[in-house]
Amino acid sequence: GTDDFVVEDSRSPETKTRALSVADSQEFIGEKFWSKLQCVDFHDPQAPETFAKSLKETGFAVLVTHPLTPGLVDDVYAEWREFLTQCADPDRPDLRENYLYDSETQAGYFPMDISETAKGSTQKDLKQFFQLYFPNGSYPDEVSDKARQLFHEMHSLGRTLLQWIDDGMDEKVKAGLPCDLADALSYENTMLRILHYPSYREEEKPKGAVRAAAHEDINLITVLPSGSSRGLQVWSKEDECWYEVPCHTQSIVVNIGDMLQEMTGGDYVATTHRVVKLDDEVGGTDRMSCPCFLHPHADVYLSDKYPTSRKFLLERLSEL
């Protein structure tokens, strides 16, 4: 049910999964990762402090309430699932041709055969997606403006969350930043990616391939509404195992990206995560996701090694 946490312990010879109710989760994993990760009520007066503390200690936080329009994410999933399925249809080559991504701007449609390969991985991820930039970049005529609305709302939320990080940051670390994180945020560089992970049978996929191999995000922070099904997992360096991120309907997961780590000299650490097909997944289940990657302005200073965020971005994109 929605009140269950699922813990996967990858240290044992056979991976074990245990569903935990809220009542016994604290006892079982009280000293582990989830005891530090906070579920944040966006409207609670203590939310900024709770959010910033969770992000600092775990690299993640979960917003169980938020200001996004109710039902908007589900609506985007429904219509973009249909659109992306059509893009992959051999009988609709026009869609692929019309919206294929621009190698310079990175905006547009990325089909499965040219999908990403995570840094350090040898297999392409099992996914297709569309990258949206506003006001520039292509936007399909075949869908409504709901994804555009979602981007605006997530960008606004992201600015608030960056301000919360600013307010909770150690003064010495903050003194080393070129500006507040909220002021570094760029509207034009921030990207909404709408992902479709098609259903598949294990025997059909290339050996070693997963929906999204272990990786860290490039940007400052990522705002990720709950996916349409389970599968998102985060790596705990302390416990040396993968934990499944609870898939609570209408919740939002927020995680740290590499740019924030670089900007703060490692005081905030980017989190390694992946998307997998779970052993108990019902056959024929696909997965939709719509992360919003919050990026700084291109000329924002990150570190002596990366005097501009643009330099960092180009290096990372070349590794995908």
Q: What is the pLDDT along the chain (320 residues), one digit of tens a residue?
A: 333 333 333 332 233 333 333 333 333 333 455 566 788 999 999 999 999 999 998 888 999 999 999 999 999 999 999 999 999 999 999 999 999 999 899 999 999 887 655 555 556 667 899 999 999 999 999 999 999 999 999 999 999 999 999 999 999 999 999 999 999 999 999 999 999 988 755 555 554 446 667 778 999 999 999 865 677 788 877 778 888 777 677 899 999 999 999 999 999 999 887 877 666 555 567 889 999 999 999 999 999 999 999 999 999 888 87
- Give ∠ CA 205-208-209 in degrees, rounded to 5: 50
* pLDDT for position 319: 81
How many residues in total does the chain contain? 320
* Residue-level pLDDT at 192: 98
Whether 235 and 272 have beta carbons less than 8 Å apart is answered as: yes
pLDDT at residue 39, as a whole number: 87
Q: What is the pLDDT of residue 115?
A: 63
DSSP 3-state assignment of 299?
coil
- 309-317, long-range: CB within 8 Å, 24+ apart, which pairs? 309/259, 312/218, 312/258, 312/259, 312/262, 313/218, 316/119, 316/218, 316/258, 317/106, 317/218
**Beta strands 39-41; 60-65: pairing state:** parallel
Residue 87 pairs in a beta bridge with none
Cβ pair 70, 89 in contact under 8 A? no
Give the residue among 271, 263, 265, 293 at the shortest CA–CA distance from 155: 293
State residue 150's pLDDT score.
98
Q: What is the pLDDT of residue 3?
A: 35
Q: How many CB atoms lie within 10 A of CB 304?
A: 6
Across the chain, where does the E strand assignment appear? 4-9, 16-21, 39-41, 60-65, 108-110, 128-132, 191-197, 212-215, 221-225, 232-236, 241-244, 252-256, 273-275, 287-289, 292-294
Do 256 and 221 contact (CB within 8 A), yes or no?
Answer: yes
Please write down the long-range contacts of 244-248, taking CB distance under 8 Å and 24 or more positions apart: 244/5, 244/6, 244/7, 244/8, 244/17, 244/278, 245/60, 245/62, 245/273, 246/4, 246/5, 246/6, 246/62, 248/2, 248/62, 248/64
3-state secondary structure of 59: coil
Residue 124: half-sphere exposure toward Cβ, Cα within 13 Å: 12
- Residue 23 confidence (pLDDT): 32
Q: What is the DSSP letter of 114?
A: G
